Amino acid sequence: MKKYFFLILIVLGLGAQAAPKPKASPARSRPQPQTPVTPPGAAPAASPALVSTSAASVTESAEAVGGKTGDSLDVTITGEAKDEIPVVIDPPPLDIEFKDIVGLSRDGQTERVVNGPVEVIKGGELMAMALLEPRQVAGSLPVKIPGPPFIQMEIATGLEPSRWDFRVLDENNRVVYRQESSADLRDLLVWEGMDNSTPKILAGQVYTPMLITIGKAGKTDRFYGEPVLLDVLQYDQGGDRMIEFFNERLFDQGSADIPLDMAPPLKALLGMLRRYAGAPVRVVVHFTPEDRDVAQARIDALKNLLTDALLAEPAALSFSAAPAGGRGDVTEFVIPGAAR
C-alpha cells in the first residue's frame, strides 16, 4: 500500500514539472523603462522624451497583429519640427525718366519767385469767385486755360556760353520766335506767344523750344525743350479777353457733338464767363470748307450749352459763323473789357 502511494506522488510531481506555466496577461504587463548605458567615449544617446509610446498601446498593437507579443510591431510615430526661414522682399525696380526727376532749386530761383510780379485779383473779380451756384458740387481742382507765357524752357546750371540763340519752332520746323544775346544766360527762357501785341501762337499747333549755345572755344551745342500743343488758349488784345478752342478738339469730326474730354476746359470757360457776368459775350465759330454744312449746328450746340449753364438771356450772348482765317480753324469767345 505504501509502495503504491509513493508511486502516485512521484507521478504527480513529474506532471507538475512538465505542465506549462500560464502566461501573464498582456494588458497587465508593465515593462519597466531602462536607462540606456553610454559606452566611454561615445556620443550620448538621444533623449527618450523625443519618442514615447505607452506599453498598453504597444501590447494592443501586438494583439491586433497576431496575438503574440513576440511578433514584430508596426508603430507609427508622429512628431513636429519648427525652423525659421528668412524671407527677403526686394524693392520694386524704379522706372522713372530722368527728365521727371526734380532737382534742387537753382541759384536765384527762389528770389525770382518772391520778388517777381504778383497777379492781383480785383474786388469785383474776388466777389464773383465767392458766389456759389446752386448746382455746384465738390470736385477736383479746376482746369486753368493756358495763357502767356506759352513757352518756357529751363536752362541747366553750368552753362556759360559766350553767345546764345533761343528759338521757337512750329510743327513745320519754321522759326516763329527768336532771341539772341551775348549776355549771361538766365535760368528760364520764355516766349509770350505775341509779336508786337499781336498773338502769333495758334491753337492746335505744336511748338518746340530750342537753345543754341556757342562756347568760348567756338563749340556749338543745341538743346531742345518739351514740345507744346495747346487745344485751347487765352490772351488779351485791345482790352478784350480772347479765348480760342481748336475746332478739331472742341467738336467731333464733321459734326456738332462735343466730346466728353472737353468738359474740363469748358468748365474753365464757364467760370471765366461767370466772373464777367453782364458783359456781352461774342462767340464766333470759324469753319473750313469741309465743315461749312455743320457750322450752324455747332452754333446751336454752343448756344444751348451756354444759356443753360449760365442761366443767361439769349440777348446777352451773340453767335456768328465765319470762314477760318489767320487764327486757323478755331471757335473764339470774346469777353469785352475783361483785359482792362
Segment 314-336 shows an average pLDDT of 92
Question: Residue range 129-142: average pLDDT?
Answer: 55
Q: Name the β-bridge partners of 237.
A: 240
> Over the stretch 22-81, which tens digit does the pLDDT of each residue have?
444 444 444 454 544 444 454 444 444 444 444 444 445 445 444 444 567 787 888 788
Report pLDDT for 159.
84
Residue that wins the pLDDT comparison between 219 and 121 = 219
Q: Are 228 and 151 in contact (CB under 8 A)?
A: yes
**pLDDT above 90 as % of the chain:** 41
Residue 155: band (very low, low, confident or very high) from pLDDT cuts 50, 70, 90: confident
Burial of 304 (0-12, 13-18, 19+ CB in 10 A): exposed
Average pLDDT over residues 289-316: 88
Residue 294 is predicted with a pLDDT of 95
Quick one: pLDDT band at residue 84, thresholds 50, 70, 90? Answer: confident
Q: Is residue 181 pLDDT above 60, yes or no? A: yes
Confidence category of residue 331, pLDDT binned at 50, 70, 90? very high
Domain 142-229: assigned CATH number: 2.60.40
Asked whether the predicted pLDDT for residue 252 surpasses 60, the reply is yes
- The CATH code of the domain at 232-335 is 3.30.1330.60
Domain edges within the chain:
142-229, 232-335
Please give the model's pTM, rounded to 2 decimal places. 0.58
Given a contact cutoff of 8 angstroms between Cβ atoms, the answer to whether 276 and 335 are in contact is yes
pLDDT, tens digit (0-9, with 9 covering 90-100), for 216-234: 888 999 999 999 999 999 9
Task: Supply the pLDDT for residue 56.
Answer: 45
Query: Which of the given ranges, 69-83, 101-115, 268-282, has the highest pLDDT on average?
Result: 268-282
pLDDT at 158: 81
Which residue has better confidence, 14 or 123? 123
